[in-house]
A = this chain, B = another copy of it.
Amino acid sequence: MVDLQAVLDSIYKELTPRIGEGRIADYIPELAKIDPNQFGMAVVTVDGRVYTAGDAAVPFSIQSISKVFMLTLALGKVGEGLWKRVGREPSGSAFNSIVQLEHEHGIPRNPFINAGAIAVTDVVMAGHAPREAIGELLRFVRYLADDESITIDDKVARSETQTGYRNFALASFMRAYKNIDHPVEHVLGVYFHQCALSMSCEQLARAGLFLAARGSNPMTGHSVVSPKRARRINALMLTCGHYDGSGDFAYHVGLPGKSGVGGGIFAVAPGIASIAAWSPGLNKVGNSQLGAVALEMLAARTGWSVFGD
């Protein structure tokens, strides 16, 4: 096996001159304030070893990466019945497109575009007040990462609430099609809080380790989902995890993954390791510029691509 620490170190060293590249997401005012000159990586292997480089311990806003955890919760609640509410196909449109939603009568294409994630949130809320649903997600993520220090950044959540008109449009639209059961403000309240989860690369890699390890976290012994469900979530991440850049990410990196506009990318090498990379500057399709490059280098140097070594 490759010396993982050496691989991470070499990637970090090679990319150091490029730290600060890309454009910070500015549509959420609170996120726009972040220092762009940060870059970290963490890898946790299925035998429980942890490797890090750079700012791997700095918490950041995981944003859409939270959709993976919320999807896991929703599948736990309603099982495969979830797919009546949301599809499983790549979207072929920008991440917040409302066009497809109209053509497909209020059923979002997949759980990783905004509309789909909002529908998933609505499913998780069944029988809960908004505050309880937020609490449930936070407890779940802490349990996955085995780390009680993980928090939600209320300022970021409020910042999104104030500007998230497009998400209001998506949710109202789905409610018009009866694909949202709860009041739009409640669903988005929960949604904006889940996006505001604040985690470091290391926490993220630990929390998602179950997806690399047949559904169970080998570091805590917790069984989270069945091996089959872990595979399926990985499949969804590979085909739909990066909005309209999913094909490109599969082509260049070759690992299931999910990105967020906070600059984080979470990825899985099935049977081997979970990975997180973070740098705030985004590339043209809205994924972390350095994060995507770092993951491509990591996959190339380890031979971890799911499409062959």
Identify the A interface with B (CB < 8 A).
87-93, 97-103, 109-110, 165-166, 168-173, 175-176, 184, 211-212, 214, 227, 230-232, 234-236, 238-240, 244-248, 250-251, 254, 256, 270-271, 305-309
Contacts and interface: CB of A to CB of B under 8 A. Distances in A.
16 contacts: A89-B247, A99-B103, A165-B175, A166-B173, A168-B169, A168-B184, A169-B171, A227-B309, A231-B308, A235-B307, A236-B247, A236-B250, A238-B250, A238-B307, A239-B251, A271-B308
B247 A239 contact: yes
A250 B227 contact: no
B250 A246 contact: no
A212 B109 CA distance: 30
A247 B91 CA distance: 10
Q: Of A98, A103, A169, A173, which is in contact with the most chain B CB atoms at under 10 Å from its CB?
A: A169
A91 B244 CA distance: 10
A308 B270 contact: yes
Number of copies of this protein chain within its complex: 4
Main secondary structure of the interface of A (DSSP, over half): helix
Closest 3 pairs between A and B when the two form their complex, measured CB to CB: A92-B92, A90-B90, A270-B308
A173 B165 contact: yes
A7 to B, nearest CB: 18
Contacts of A173: 98, 165-166, 169
A307 B234 CA distance: 6
B306 A306 contact: yes
